[in-house]
Structure 1
Amino acid sequence: MPANNPHQSFHFRVEAGFSRIGFTHVQLPRMERDVIRYREGSDPVDSVRQLPGLLRLSDCVLQRGVIPVDHEFFQWMNTVHFGQAERRDIVVSLLDEQHQPTLSWRLRNTFPVGLEWSPLDAQGSGVLIETLRLSVEAMDILAT
């Protein structure tokens, strides 16, 4: 019988068509649905009906340590031009103790909208982190 313990968040895999998938942090998109407020003038009820509207997804954020000669984020960012972008589907999978996916999020038609690096610090001892922010058109949650 499987345990009813919550999943731990530190064991995950990102499949995005990159040659290296060593991500340190993934911020999955937030899902939020618009609310449409509607009322007819002849409606005898004195309240407003609320209808579900469009689903909106926030950006996905991927972070990883910068290594020499790996500029795939920068190259992908440069493919975006007015009205056109190289879109990719990305799958983020939460892994169990046997490194098998237990829950996955498929982010569809993503493209880069932001790229930044952590500060350079001559007195620090941290790793230089590269952060890519992706626009997400749709998301599926897949239980395995």
Structure 2
Amino acid sequence: MAGEAQDGNWPLPKFYFSVRFGSQDNTVSFQEVSGLETETQPIEYRHGDSKLFSTIKMPGITKTGNVTLKKGIFVNDNNFWKWFEDIKMNNIKRETVTIQLLDERGNPTMTWTLSNAWPTKITATDMRADANEVAVETLELIHEGLTIQNG
């Protein structure tokens, strides 16, 4: 409420983040990251001698969504296309991808880690003669697990 003392505890802004591929310091600048989600599929079960005429629900297999990354296109920067081309030769190079939400000093406040990630889809920019925008490409990653860490 207006006029009350503030405790300095505010939600984190989402515009300052970094994305790193692999274990080395291979940081890439992105405009947008989306799809950091996980869900547990329910298993419905009913005992044969249960007096309730309904099922109980238990946690089942955990499912993760694809992560979508968008970045500006730069001259001679086609590293993601090369990574995607390697899949065609059945030579999938899986990477650990680390996404960090940063505070105002650049220190990580939350870290999402994708294990064994590889590109499933790349979308080039759309081109329009009347547009006044930066060319942006989209990279979609599949991964085998998502972990979250604070700090």
Instruction: Please confirm whether the aligned pair reaches a TM-score higher than 0.5, indicating the same fold.
Output: yes
TM-score by length of 2: 0.88
Matched with 2:77 is 70
Matched with 2:8 is 3
Aligned residue for 1:23, secondary structure, equals: coil
Aligned residue for 1:76, secondary structure, equals: helix
Poorly superposed stretches of 4+, deviation over 2 Å: 17-20, 81-84
Change (3 A) 1:3 1:84: farther
Residue 126 (structure 1) aligned with residue 133 (structure 2): yes
RMSD: 1.8
Q: Find the structure with the greater CA-based Rg.
A: 2
1:32 aligned to which of 25, 39, 45 = 39
Q: Which piece of structure 1 moves more, 14-23 or 61-70?
A: 14-23
Q: CA deviation at 1:109?
A: 0.8
Letter in 1 for 2:114: L
Q: Which piece of structure 1 moves more, 36-45 or 51-60?
A: 36-45
Change (3 A) 1:27 1:143: same
Letter in 2 for 1:76: W
Aligned residue for 1:80, secondary structure, equals: helix
List per-residue Cα deviations over 1:11-39 (Å, max 9, x = no partner). Answer: 00000148561111111422111000011
Residue 43 (structure 1) aligned with residue 50 (structure 2): yes
Matched with 2:3 is none
Letter in 1 for 2:13: Q
- Give percent identity, aligned residues only: 28
**What is the count of residue pairs matched by the alignment?**
143
Q: Which piece of structure 1 moves more, 127-136 or 75-84?
A: 75-84
Which consecutive unaligned segments of at least 5 residues does structure 2 have?
1-6
Structure 1 distance, partners of 2:44, 2:35, is 29
TM-score by length of 1: 0.92
Matched with 1:15 is 20
Structure 2 distance, partners of 1:82, 1:69, is 23
Structure 2 distance, partners of 1:98, 1:19, is 20
Which consecutive unaligned segments of at least 5 residues does structure 1 have?
none
